[in-house]
Every structure is written in structure tokens, then in C-alpha cells.
């Protein structure tokens, strides 16, 4: 049984004060239930603060939005895995489509980061997904296959099982336009089939695949009830503590 994982990707939002205010409300709304794994991914500047808030909290894990693959050195503006570990970070989002399109991250770069994260006991959340032009051109499977082969090259089956994949169709991110549950399920099933082919069926059955792209409380149940959808990576709707808690509650309800 794959444990569902709901993550809040705050992107370049939330000051220290706003982060604190978020958790005052969110932790009350969330309660103690641990059926669903919950991850909050603040900007780097709020990691230490949020880590402090979560120190004695068992229900929420900490994630980071990016990292560099080298251990240390002359990489102005970058942050390495060891620095994240020091702040008790568990997960790191890699290859988000905004990183790929706005900051030039290739599959090769995402691959280096993924291997470095795993080597440092961080669990990568590796994002993949097609653009609207690629979907309209019937390229969805070809694009996903290329991203999987490139971003996850060289992982052992054990490492693959530690990795979370986020399927985020670029046209659904921040647009209010969600993939239908059927479209998302079809992409997730394809991703799992590729993983079985490239690694093995057992590892593929264990990998969690999140959906991301305009997830909100009202569409959570229909997406999360699909057999190959194992969670959500939530952007905009994760900035509202009540709304994000509701997304977790909707997911828990499906497991009750």
C-alpha cells in the first residue's frame, strides 16, 4: 500500500511572519491523524523557522524547493544537500517546471541533483510533465518517457522507491485549469508502466506519484481516488492554511 503524500509548494511566497501565522492555523485544522503524509516546502529563508515550529510535530515533514548537486564550493546563490540536512529537511523538490523553463534546468541537471539528494538521505520529489503544445501534438508519452529516462538515470531500484515523482502538466500549473481525473490517471499509469520497464514491477508498484496543477479542496477527492494517483503537489491553494488542511482532510476521507 502506497501512503498518500500531500505537499505544499509555497514557491517564492511567505515571509517568516506569514509562515508562523500559517502554522498557528494549519496545525489546529490538521489534527493528529497520520494516515496521509504531509510535507510543507517553504522558501529557503523560512526553512529554519518552519523546522523549529515542526520540531515536535509528528504530522508534518519539511521539504526544500531546490538544491545544488555539489557538496560545497564556489557556487554563489546555491545551497547544497548538507545544508538542508542540517535544517532537518526530509524532501527536496527537483526539476519543477518553473525551474526547467525559467532557470534552464535540463533533465541532466535534474538527474545530478536527484542522485546527490539520494546520496545525502534526502528524498527527491522529481517533477515531470508536458506543455500544452506537447499535449495537443500527442507528445505526452514521449515527453514523459524522455524526462523519466533523463531525470532518473542511474538510480538503483532501491533509490527509485525512495523517490517521489510529481506529474505536473505545465498547462495546469497556476492556471486554474486542472487535468481531468481521467487524464491524470492515464499519465500516472503510463509513468508507472515506464518505471516497471526501466527498473522492475516491484519498485514501480512502490513509487509514489503525485499529481500537481491547480489542485484545490473541491477537486481533491476526484483526483486522489484514482488508482495511480498517490498524492498532490499543491501550489497556490497551499498558501491558505484552512484550504490546505481541507485538501489533506479530503484525502484522508478516501482512506477511512
Contact residues for ligand PGA, defined by CB under 6 A: 9, 168, 173-174, 212-215, 233-237
**In the bound complex, what is the minimum distance in angstroms from residue 221's beta carbon to ligand PGA?**
16
Name the active-site residue from 37, 98, 105, 168: 168
Question: Which cell is 241 given?
Answer: 492554511
Whichever of 199 and 230 has its CB closer to ligand PGA, that residue is 230
Q: Please tell me the distance from the alpha carbon of residue 61 to that of residue 253, in angstroms, as a whole number.
A: 21
Diameter over CA atoms, the chain? 50
Whichever of 203 and 209 has its CB closer to ligand PGA, that residue is 209
| Cβ 237 vs Cβ 10: under 8 Å | no
DSSP bridge partners of 92: 64, 124
> Is 168 annotated as catalytic?
yes
| Cβ 163 vs Cβ 114: under 8 Å | yes
Name the active-site residue from 37, 68, 96, 250: 96
Q: Give the closest residue to 254 by CA, choosing from 181, 189, 175, 205.
A: 181
**In the bound complex, what is the minimum distance in angstroms from residue 48's beta carbon to ligand PGA?**
23
> Is 188 annotated as catalytic?
no
**In the bound complex, what is the minimum distance in angstroms from residue 19's beta carbon to ligand PGA?**
18
The residue nearest ligand PGA at its CB is: 235
Question: Where in the sequence numbering do the catalytic residues fall?
Answer: 96, 168
Amino acid at each position: 500500500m502506497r501512503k498518500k503524500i500531500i505537499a505544499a509548494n509555497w514557491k517564492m511566497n511567505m515571509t517568516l511572519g506569514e509562515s508562523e501565522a500559517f502554522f498557528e492555523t494549519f496545525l489546529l485544522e490538521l489534527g493528529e491523524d497520520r494516515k496521509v503524509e504531509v510535507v510543507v516546502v517553504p522558501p529557503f529563508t523560512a526553512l529554519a523557522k518552519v523546522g523549529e515550529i515542526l520540531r515536535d510535530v509528528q504530522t508534518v515533514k519539511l521539504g526544500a524547493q531546490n538544491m545544488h548537486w555539489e557538496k560545497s564550493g564556489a557556487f554563489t546563490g546555491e545551497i547544497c544537500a548538507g545544508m538542508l540536512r542540517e535544517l532537518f529537511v526530509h524532501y527536496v523538490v527537483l526539476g519543477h517546471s518553473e525551474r526547467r523553463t525559467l532557470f534552464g534546468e535540463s533533465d541532466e541537471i535534474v538527474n545530478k541533483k536527484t542522485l546527490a539528494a539520494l546520496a545525502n538521505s534526502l528524498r527527491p520529489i522529481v517533477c515531470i510533465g508536458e506543455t500544452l503544445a506537447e499535449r495537443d501534438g500527442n507528445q505526452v508519452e514521449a515527453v514523459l518517457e524522455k524526462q523519466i529516462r533523463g531525470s532518473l538515470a542511474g538510480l538503483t531500484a532501491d533509490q527509485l522507491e525512495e523517490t517521489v515523482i510529481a506529474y505536473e502538466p505545465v498547462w495546469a500549473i497556476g492556471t486554474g485549469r486542472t487535468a481531468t481525473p481521467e487524464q491524470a490517471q492515464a499519465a500516472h499509469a503510463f509513468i508507472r508502466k515506464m518505471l516497471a520497464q526501466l527498473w522492475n514491477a516491484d519498485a514501480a508498484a512502490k513509487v509514489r506519484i503525485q499529481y500537481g496543477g491547480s489542485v484545490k479542496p473541491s477537486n481533491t477527492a476526484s483526483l486522489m481516488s484514482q488508482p495511480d494517483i498517490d498524492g498532490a503537489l499543491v501550489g497556490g491553494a497551499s498558501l491558505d492554511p484552512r484550504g490546505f488542511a481541507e485538501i489533506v482532510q479530503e484525502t484522508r476521507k478516501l482512506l477511512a
